[in-house]
Structure 1
């Protein structure tokens, strides 16, 4: 955390140095001292925000965070660092809906990104296909806008100028790429992330009000980030999970990772439930929902010439060897029973449920033949003695195991 804060501090040293020089001040502070003070201040603000979150069961909304940092003079792109700090401390940040009004969103320089310094290179793990290369090359040719030009285009948009709207959006496409890079590897292709971010950019263009006094990039960052995170929650999984459940799953994963570091082993559902202050049954339910489906076509082996489905047994389909043995046993049994009298055959079939799988009692079989249960027992015993004769039993012995 300290290293991140020092990096943040360096971005604002120039402005803060002037503030450190007051009339009558005997000793002028060095840039290192000022940077350390800024880092300490940022660290203190983050810890204070964490205390607020704990009082609200580790849940904050975006506006609360923005309000909390309004009394600071922090600059540059620090909002992602704040979100990362909250995420590492298991704090859920709830975003506003798409129809949120501008007055409900309070922004400051936390969202400020220097578009001129944005790196348009492809992130690690993303294949450099022709569409990606062509897109990055094209948006790199679009000239950027100054703050005055942004205001001018915004005024023209109010008058219904569609070309101004298009120009403002195109000039900030590289901002979308910069934000989309942070979400690579979360279940969506890089180009899909850019596409969703562009939708957020369009939303920002439509709702931008230059009278609020903040840069367009500062305002657009919020909408782009929201569009991408919602798309990941809505589209990244094969089986769709509601957004609110995705947030719950993410929280459980963060708590599990934290417990893993503390305990040195995988935490049990009971330990996770205690840390999250929810019932154990709820933890098991969330874990079950969060399971990712696996394709039966997944390649298996070094040469990947087999698929996972080839090694999964279907319990509803009999094993060929067992099916063949069962067929042969039935044939042999029919042949052996054929050596008995008709009454003996029927008694054994009813007693052992050979025809329908339901074994009858002596009394039930007796009613079938209109005789006593004792008489049925005698017929059964006689028939079994006949089957034990070597001439008959040797045909069935091979199936005993």
Structure 2
């Protein structure tokens, strides 16, 4: 059973929200960590869902972070009241999208191999290593965001090559040469598009 930190008092919450609005990122982290109990509580409603609990909590945490970012004290008395709706909405969107596609790959499934033959996942693309469960929520937020960015940031050609190159969404993993042959373009062009696509994605995940 995961133990979460105690919720903030009303006074503490107001203080850290004000600090965050002024650009204090540590205040944002405190607001997240001290509201994870709320995320876990709401996630319990979805325990019958096929997704792993850690994944559900990570998606719920995305809703929490959105709530912290958009919270307006003049429209809601407490962050928790507003955040509960945002968390619930984020989980509902996930479950609805799952119904539309059963071919979604796991956040941690291998998507290819490196030059030494070691399996790599999307974790490697954003060049981050997982940490303990509580601190891993921020990482999982980045991974979930990466999935959302794929169709929004990449061109149709870039998306096609990334899917084929790393075997995403049920596609067979292909080498650059095989992709070039299939698309009737040069291997060097495939390599250039692949590198450009990954650079685009990495630009959304600056090193801390």
Q: What TM-score does the superposition give when structure 2 sets the normalisation length?
A: 0.46
Structure with the larger RCO, 1 or 2 (CA within 8 Å, 6+ apart): 2
Q: What TM-score does the superposition give when structure 1 sets the normalisation length?
A: 0.25
